[in-house]
Structure 1
Amino acid sequence: MTMPVMEPDLDASTLKTWARTIDDGPFSSLCWGERIAFDNPEAVALLGALAVWTERVRLVTTVMVPQLHDPVLLAKSLATGDLLSGGRLTVGVGIGGRREDYEAVGADPATQTMRGMAERVAVMKRVWAGEKVTDSVVPVGPAPLQMGGPRLLVGTIGPKTLRSAAAWADGLAGTTLDLDTDKQNEVYDVARAAWAQAGKPKPFLATSFWFALGDADAAREQVHRHLRRYMNWIPAEFVDAMAPTTGWAGTEDELVGVLKRFEDIGTDEVHLIPTSADVEQVRRVADVVEDFA
């Protein structure tokens, strides 16, 4: 389950309630993403709170953009999060879709590439391994609880990106707009082949999609409303055109069928993305996913 970080008017109480509800439920992971030029909570600061608010569930960034951060400082921050959470952190990384996020922090938009991301990930992995990456007296710490650092997932839907990430990633944190499992399985096949060619174990395969539970019209309108707000860089008429087929809206019974389809193609996790900050959505999904736990 993903935190409602892209919803408006969030406060600490809402975020804490969501985190504890997810932790108490049958969910395997609690996820959250990163934007800069938006009004969502800052991702690293939220990690610290989530590490304290939860005890069981795995914490997964879906995704962070290393190019928006100094890689040594980001490695230190994430290692601290791994320490505080008792070794429950998984780090999903991507190049990010918004140039304005790069510009907001003074990052070079020319680094918005797989190479730019891979270079920063390499620095982070060296820090986590305890190597001295600066002229400091001692290496940058703390050491993450997970040996070698948190599991790394690459956030992408592109075959070329997946192939290049096989050298350093442990799996995929993908996304699907239309929930087409045939297309999703083609992406998985690329990952499986790339990881095998790199001589690595089978990749962890995750995908995500926006969701709304409720009767058809109201749930679809909820998704539409969310897309209008979140996709504010796209002309409204384009968002309106894609909204009827983007994400998923329906009842609990229908969600069971959707999750089974993804299970059948070998999905290890589905990261559900809420389109409302109403915690009742989480509680309703918890009843559905209990059979998958």
Structure 2
Amino acid sequence: MQIGLGLPIADPAALLDWARRADAGPFSTLGLLDRLVYDNPEPLVALSMLAGATSRVQVQTEVLLTPLRDTALLAKQVATLDRMSGGRLVLGLGVGGRADDHLAAGVDLRTRGRRMDEQLALLRRLWSGEPFGAECGPIGPAPLRPGGPPILFGGFRPAALERVARWGDGFLAAAPAPWCGELFDSVRGYWREHGRDGEPRMVAQVNIALGPQPVVDDARAALGAYYEFTGIAENMLSGLRTTSAEIRSAIRQFADLGADEVMLYCYGADPDQVDRLADMIG
């Protein structure tokens, strides 16, 4: 099973150090979250920088809030990063749930699911080289594969889980292991219903902080602030894994559920966590 790293958002400039260390280590993927009305780096821009600073690891949006973006421009941005990274981009996509993000983007929160499905249909067409419309030609560059880069979908509702089978390649589960067995089973069920070959890729996420107490305190503060709007920040904090034994246990749980990859999401800003985690993984 592969192990990736979710990157902290407090200091965008520091992410180059994180990326270079990860690229030299045992990690498969670098992930970065997306928000609009928040103090985080824009993920496609940031991941472009990280792809240029590395040669091996994949770069992954976790998750990109597709309804907030213009679809034609998004198709061009994604294809450009896909080509320039040598096919190392993985798109994790979601609809988002924050009213302020949608307000700032000028899109309707209530219709975000329908908008996303319309966007996905257009993205697939554009990445396959078809024209934008009757009076508008194709939008290049072409991605490395005709249908575009691999797509993972995050979410918990049936519509989000079915979207994996309709449009995607896999599922990104930002939930604790006890919840994920049922989610994984649902995704696999939709996959079979839609007649898809093979199996969907399953990617899990674990929030972690590994280091001395100041590292843990920093991570708890960042995680709590990020999820404050939900009203259940304490639930998220209770799931933070802060020792090697806890992190290894979480990885084993997801392995037992059939996960293909586990993203260790680091909320603390200390880049030495990359080296500690690399030593832990062996």
- Same fold by TM-score greater than 0.5: yes
Alignment correspondent of 2:259: 267
Matched letter for residue 279 of structure 2: D
CA distance in 1, matches of 2:230, 2:246: 30
Does residue 2 of structure 1 match 2:13?
A: no
Counterpart of 1:195 in 2: which secondary structure? helix
Does residue 133 of structure 1 match 2:132?
A: yes
Does residue 198 of structure 1 match 2:194?
A: yes
CA distance in 1, matches of 2:217, 2:189: 39
Alignment correspondent of 1:89: 89
Alignment correspondent of 1:153: 152
Q: Which runs of 5+ in 2 are unaligned?
A: none
Q: C-alpha offsets along residues 247-280 of structure 1, whole Å, 9 cap, x if unaligned?
A: 3222x23322221121111011111111211101
Alignment correspondent of 2:235: 242
Alignment correspondent of 2:164: 165
Does residue 255 of structure 1 match 2:247?
A: yes
Alignment correspondent of 1:49: 49
CA distance in 2, matches of 1:97, 1:137: 33
User: Would you say the 8 A contact 1:213–1:219 is kept in 2?
Assistant: yes
- How many aligned residue pairs are there? 277
- The alpha-carbon deviation at position 233 of structure 1 amounts to 2.1
CA distance in 1, matches of 2:236, 2:180: 20
- The alpha-carbon deviation at position 163 of structure 1 amounts to 2.1
Alignment correspondent of 1:175: 174
User: Would you say the 8 A contact 1:210–1:223 is kept in 2?
Assistant: no
Counterpart of 1:73 in 2: which secondary structure? helix
Structure 2 CA distance for partners of 1:267 and 1:276, relative to 1, 3 Å: same
User: Would you say the 8 A contact 1:220–1:249 is kept in 2?
Assistant: yes
Counterpart of 2:229 in 1: which secondary structure? coil
Structure 2 CA distance for partners of 1:135 and 1:57, relative to 1, 3 Å: same
CA distance in 2, matches of 1:244, 1:218: 16
Quote the RMSD (CA, aligned, Å).
2.0
Matched letter for residue 163 of structure 1: E
Segment drifting more, 104-113 vs 90-99: 104-113
Percentage of matched positions with identical amino acids: 36
- The alpha-carbon deviation at position 25 of structure 1 amounts to 1.1
- The alpha-carbon deviation at position 119 of structure 1 amounts to 1.1
Alignment correspondent of 2:143: 144
Structure 2 CA distance for partners of 1:220 and 1:48, relative to 1, 3 Å: closer
Counterpart of 1:167 in 2: which secondary structure? helix
Alignment correspondent of 1:233: 229
